[in-house]
Amino acid sequence: MSLRQVGICLVGVGRAGAVHARNYAFNLRDTRIVAIVDANLNAAKACAGETGAEFYYSDHRDALRVKEVDAVCISTPTFTHARIAIDAAESGKHVFCEKPMALTLKEADEMISAAKRQHVILQIGFMRRFSPEFQAAKRQLAEGAIGKLTLIKSTGRGPGLPPTWACDPRTSIGMLAEVNSHDFDTARWLMESEVERLYAEAEALAVPELKERYEGFYDRSVVVLRFRNKALGVIDGACPAKYGYDARVEILGTEGVMLVGERNNQAVIICTKQRGAYSSSFPSWRDRFREGYLEEDRHFADCIANDKEPLASGEDGRAVLELTLAATKSFKTGEPITLPLE
């Protein structure tokens, strides 16, 4: 109780940034926000006002000079992650970085080395690992609830169009990275094996007109996985899915099947003649993984305070990035891809 609060510098106050801001400022007692950074200085200033942060900047390097900053939480567009993370590590600050970790394996490797060299924590934003239902699933799988695992199917869908930078292949790897990073991570984490081969199909079916503007754009994808332990997997992604945020996982074992996250928002069901039996739409990722985000932020503070290894490490981030790049290569070439990428 009497320990000093961890001082957080938040970089990027967009959608995910706002979630972390609220957690660090209001929902966790052992953290406080010291500085806010955003390319849009007004946004940084407003967020500083709301969260009680003393400092705000448009350039992360200014914030890294603030002594009270112990750690940096990066929620900026993907193409800026590596630069900020490496600068932070080299300033001796701990690093939390949203997924996808980076645009290239080279960037990811440099982020990992910088953190290692400076002995700082590097945690990647795989919040599902901290969500109660995924924790329960992991525990029950370990207890052998469905026998040996043979197949995993993971679905990740977002309701709306991604931001412009995420549609543009120059600044983002696309939906497989922005949305399905979580599914790749879930598959590796629950199956406890690495992927040795994958094959992907992708297409622009919901907003085909974006393909004209951004070569290589797609909004629907399917990836088949073969793990080293011979188990199989399927990931499917869709964005925009329009009907809501949807994250479901099914694992088939030799003794049974497990469904995680099915129909998770059915606490209030209404039935009328006009609409049939219905419940509110699938919640946004904010609501769906509210506890996951909170626990992931708590975990980051705990790793810093107690010098622990984070549950979602830089190596995990790199492995997911590699799968994303391999899947992208597969649907572009029409060929199955063998891992690791050389």
Burial profile 292-307: b = 16 or more Cβ within 10 angstroms, e = fewer:
bbbbbbbbbbbbbeee
What character string, x for contact with a copy of itself (CB under 8 A) and - otherwise, covers 98-137?
----------------------------------xx--xx
Interface with a copy of itself includes 169 (CB under 8 A)?
A: no
Determine the Cα–Cα distance for residues 17 and 77; give it in Å rounded to an integer: 11
Interface with a copy of itself includes 341 (CB under 8 A)?
A: no
C-alpha Rg value of the chain to the nearest Å: 20
Total chain residues near a copy of itself (CB under 8 A):
79
In this structure, is the dihedral angle defined by the CA atoms of residues 181, 184, 190 and 195, taken in order, positive or negative?
Answer: negative
- Span near a copy of itself by CB under 8 A; candidates 76-84, 96-104, 251-259, 316-324: 251-259
Q: Which of residues 44-63 bind a copy of itself (CB under 8 A)?
A: 52
Interface with a copy of itself includes 148 (CB under 8 A)?
A: yes
Determine the Cα–Cα distance for residues 306 and 292; give it in Å rounded to an integer: 20
Shortest Å distance, C-beta 161 to a copy of itself: 12
What character string, x for contact with a copy of itself (CB under 8 A) and - otherwise, covers 200-239?
xxxx-xx-------------xxx-xxx---xxxxx-x-x-
C-beta closer to a copy of itself: residue 67 or 271: 271
Interface with a copy of itself includes 66 (CB under 8 A)?
A: no
Q: Which of residues 270-309 bind a copy of itself (CB under 8 A)?
A: 270-273, 275-282
142, 116 Cβ separation under 8 angstroms: no
Interface with a copy of itself includes 159 (CB under 8 A)?
A: yes
Residues 6+ apart with CB under 8 A from 73: 8, 9, 10, 11, 17, 20, 24, 96, 297, 300
Among 258, 301, 325, 337, binds a copy of itself (CB under 8 A): 258
- Span near a copy of itself by CB under 8 A; candidates 81-89, 105-113, 261-269, 319-327: 261-269
**Angle CA 230–231–237, to nearest 5:** 130
C-beta closer to a copy of itself: residue 212 or 267: 267
Burial profile 134-160: b = 16 or more Cβ within 10 angstroms, e = fewer:
beebbeebeeeebeebbbbbbbbbbbe
64, 33 Cβ separation under 8 angstroms: no
Beta bridge partners of 276: 272
Among 267, 306, 307, 342, binds a copy of itself (CB under 8 A): 267
